[in-house]
């Protein structure tokens, strides 16, 4: 009976882990540029005395869904969406380079171009500083042009270019801060083939219908594992009663 309890307990634990990953995706269904986490159950033999005659499933992350989300027009002059594959380079809180698809950019009071969460946006030469301006334009190649404050509209000055990269998806991992980084460390080179759409943002690529269905399926699976543990407990009690009466 102890083996049944162990396998059922392990199944319930791994189901909860899968549910947590699934719920994380659901919670970010409206997060700009979010990439859904992927996870799958894998078979693991129960190690112990005797032959490995029993196995249970473990939930493990298998990466992320690299499918681009839908583009939504916003009209914001500092809103950009990556067209197709590619990433926007930013500076993480720890000072290292990270990558994101969230292009809802801002200019902070000190004139630095940042993400909505306050992370500096990187150009080919480091963080981008935006001088006082009356308007700013981001080209499809990521170039930033401004009309300096107090100047005529025809006076346009290019101040830099967004660092756009496109490393293979299987070389990236999601960090605890939500940014993607190269699995082996280092920085990806700029890729001139990556283009952006100005005045638009990319929505999350989470499929809400599929995620909700998965949540229900995992919930039912958890209930099944708990019932198996109750069954093992009841069988153990019945066996003890038989032994006492014999």
User: d(Cα 239, Cα 1) in Å, to the nearest integer?
Assistant: 10
Residue 74 CA: distances (Å) to CA of 81, 94, 114, 191: 10, 31, 18, 26
Please report the pLDDT score of residue 111 as a whole number: 92
Three-state secondary structure call for residue 163: coil
Please report the pLDDT score of residue 128 as a whole number: 95
Q: Which residues of the chain have pLDDT under 50?
A: none
Please report the pLDDT score of residue 228 as a whole number: 85
Instruction: Return the domain boundaries, the chain.
Output: 2-66+206-245, 71-200
User: d(Cα 33, Cα 173) in Å, to the nearest integer?
Assistant: 15
Beta bridge partners of 211: none
Please report the pLDDT score of residue 202 as a whole number: 96
Please report the pLDDT score of residue 53 as a whole number: 66
- Nearest-Å Rg of the Cα atoms of the chain is 26
Please report the pLDDT score of residue 10 as a whole number: 79
DSSP strands (E only) in 163-202: 164-165, 172-174, 180-182, 195-198, 200-202
pTM greater than 0.85: no
Q: Are strands 133-138 and 143-148 parallel, antiparallel or unpaired?
A: antiparallel
Helix (H) or strand (E) holding 226: helix 208-245
According to DSSP, residue 125 is labeled: T
Instruction: Tell me the pLDDT tens digit for each residue of 156-197.
Output: 888 999 999 999 999 999 998 999 999 988 999 999 999 999
Residue 245 CA: distances (Å) to CA of 231, 238, 239, 240, 242: 21, 11, 10, 9, 5
């Amino acid at each position: 009976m102890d083996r049944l309890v162990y396998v059922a307990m392990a199944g319930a634990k791994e189901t909860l882990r899968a549910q947590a990953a699934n719920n994380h995706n659901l919670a970010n269904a409206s997060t700009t540029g979010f990439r859904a986490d992927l996870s799958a159950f894998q078979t693991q033999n129960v190690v112990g005395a005797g032959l490995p005659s029993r196995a249970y499933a473990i939930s493990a992350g298998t990466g992320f869904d690299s499918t681009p989300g839908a583009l939504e027009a916003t009209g914001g002059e500092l809103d950009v969406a990556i067209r197709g594959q590619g990433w926007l380079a930013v500076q993480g809180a720890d000072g290292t380079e990270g990558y994101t698809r969230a292009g809802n950019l801002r200019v902070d009071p000190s004139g630095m171009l940042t993400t909505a969460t306050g992370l500096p946006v990187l150009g080919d030469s480091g963080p981008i500083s935006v001088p006082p301006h009356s308007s700013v334009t981001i080209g499809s190649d990521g170039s930033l042009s401004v009309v300096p404050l107090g100047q005529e509209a025809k006076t346009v000055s290019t101040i830099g270019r967004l660092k756009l990269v496109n490393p293979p998806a299987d070389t990236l991992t999601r960090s605890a801060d939500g940014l993607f980084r190269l699995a082996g460390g280092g920085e990806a080179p700029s890729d001139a083939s990556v283009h952006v759409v100005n005045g638009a943002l990319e929505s999350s690529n989470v499929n809400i219908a599929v995620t909700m269905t998965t949540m229900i399926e995992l919930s039912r699976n958890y209930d099944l594992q708990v019932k198996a543990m109750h069954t093992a407990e009841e069988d153990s009690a019945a066996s003890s009663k038989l032994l006492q009466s014999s």
